Amino acid sequence: MSNQVIIKDAVKRYGDFTALNGVSLDIREGEFFTLLGPSGCGKTTTLRMIGGFETPDQGDILFLGERINDIPPHKRNINTVFQRYALFPHLNVFENVAFPLSFRGVPYDKRMRLAKKALKDVGLESHMNHMPGQMSGGQQQRVGIARALVTDPDIIFADEPTGNLDSKTSDDVMRSMCDTVKSHGKTFIMVTHDPNMAAYADKVINILDGRITDIYFNRHETVGDKAEIREEIKKEA
């Protein structure tokens, strides 16, 4: 796999506060990549720079070798799974998943086919007529995953995707997310403060005070076996 995203010596300041101080990293195509750290460490700023919502004061963001510092967010093929699900309460599950396609003017028959497939991929095809309020938090987050996949993005962001879930549901959602994203060959970039959730990733970057402090690699073959990397991360957390 080749490097899909490269950040070179990125610096981001807000007045006198330096949010990122010389951050460099690379994310490979199809990789599950996690930025781990406490609130205010710079992990979300890094995510926003990749997405085009922030521009580095110094350094470069590269996508497939091309500098994209000045490319606006709507021209970057990236979707997001949100912490609070961000589902429209007045739309049913199918309509929520199909909404990005409707926004892009995709014909109804194609919207129906793509949204059904996305829901099938996350195990919710039978729930397509349910309203969000009829579903558990874990189910709503899986709807969010389906919606992120339906437009075939290059990259999927997840900002604290299990922040509103209990530990068991969090593990269930992470397994579903890993399996689904991997089966589609998507690059997945997650931000979290939780070492247990970070342990699902292929690569974990630990950020503190705007600097990278550690890098961990998960070489396990299965999603379920995370004990080794989890213990390594916890030692440093």
Sketch the domain layout of the chain as residue ranges. 1-76+201-237
The pLDDT value recorded for residue 2 is 82
> pLDDT digit string (tens) for 81-137?
887 778 899 999 999 999 999 888 899 999 999 999 999 988 898 999 999 999 988
CATH T-level fold of 1-76+201-237: Rossmann fold (3.40.50)
> pLDDT digit string (tens) for 11-30?
999 999 999 999 999 999 99
144 HSE (CA, 13 A, CB side): 27
- Of 176, 178, 184, nearest to 198 by C-alpha is 178
Pick the range with the lowest mean pLDDT from 102-111, 142-151, 163-172. Answer: 163-172
Residue 223 has pLDDT above 70, yes or no: no
Using a pLDDT cut of 90, give the percent of the chain over it.
59
The pLDDT value recorded for residue 90 is 94
The pLDDT value recorded for residue 237 is 52
pTM for this model (two decimals) = 0.86
Contact residues for 194 (Cβ-Cβ < 8 A; gap 6+): 162, 170
The pLDDT value recorded for residue 67 is 95
Strand order in the sheet with 78-81: 78-81, 155-159, 187-192, 32-36, 203-208, 211-217
- Give me the numbers of helices (H) and strands (E) for the chain, helices first please: 7, 10
Rg of the chain (C-alpha set): 18
